């Protein structure tokens, strides 16, 4: 079985109505504009699967790390993604509304991947009070004033003020 697959044979036969799981693995290509889950980051997924009339109801929690680029100063951003979801899996193929499954194996890969992507910050900041870069010289203002002439009315910088 793959990292995020689990057997649901006991749920299908009716010998169990609820099954808890803990899974770990790695997934590639989880990213949004300025942040991503590194391909080598371990993703911890846990939760429970419950047999319901329509299929299998999965309560899922994921935890993993992410990296990104601060949208203000372009510095590195790191953090932890932690979130949960509840998804209905139905017998058959995936649809726009439900995840699908076939046979006695429930593949949570798509649900884990989708949840990680939804949790990634689309506009990461290195810190809430990040001052960003000087619009004139590009210096990191988090390190202190840049000292450039751009913000003093120097006519050499006037063209940038008009943009």
Alpha carbon 69 to chain centroid distance? 14
Mean pLDDT over residues 72-81, rounded?
96
Report pLDDT for 36: 98
Mean pLDDT over residues 110-125, rounded?
97
Pairwise CA distance, residues 82 & 3, whole Å: 19
Contact 73, 142 (CB under 8 A): yes
Report pLDDT for 148: 84
Burial class (CB in 10 A: 0-12, 13-18, 19+), 89: buried
pTM of the model: 0.85
In which band, very low, low, confident or very high, does the pLDDT at 9 lie, cut at 50, 70 and 90? very high
Pairwise CA distance, residues 95 & 93, whole Å: 6
**Mean pLDDT, rounded, of the chain:** 91
Report pLDDT for 58: 98
- Say which range, 13-17, 110-114, 139-143, has the weakest mean pLDDT: 13-17
Report pLDDT for 2: 87
Report pLDDT for 66: 98
16 pLDDT above the threshold of 90: no
């Amino acid at each position: 079985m793959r990292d995020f697959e689990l057997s649901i044979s006991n749920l299908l036969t009716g010998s169990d109505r609820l099954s808890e799981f803990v899974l770990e693995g790695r997934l590639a290509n989880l990213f949004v504009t300025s942040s991503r889950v590194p391909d080598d980051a371990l993703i911890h997924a846990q939760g429970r699967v419950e047999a319901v009339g329509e299929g299998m109801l999965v309560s899922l929690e994921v935890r993993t790390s992410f990296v990104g680029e601060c949208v203000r100063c372009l510095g590195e951003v790191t953090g932890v993604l932690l979130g949960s979801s509840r998804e209905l899996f139905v017998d058959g193929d995936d649809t726009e509304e439900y995840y699908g499954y076939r046979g006695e194996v429930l593949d949570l890969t798509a649900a884990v991947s989708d949840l990680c992507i939804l949790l990634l910050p689309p506009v990461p900041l290195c810190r809430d009070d990040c001052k960003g870069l000087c619009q004139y010289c590009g210096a990191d203002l988090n390190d202190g004033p840049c000292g450039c002439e751009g913000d003093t009315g120097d006519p050499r910088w006037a063209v940038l003020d008009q943009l």
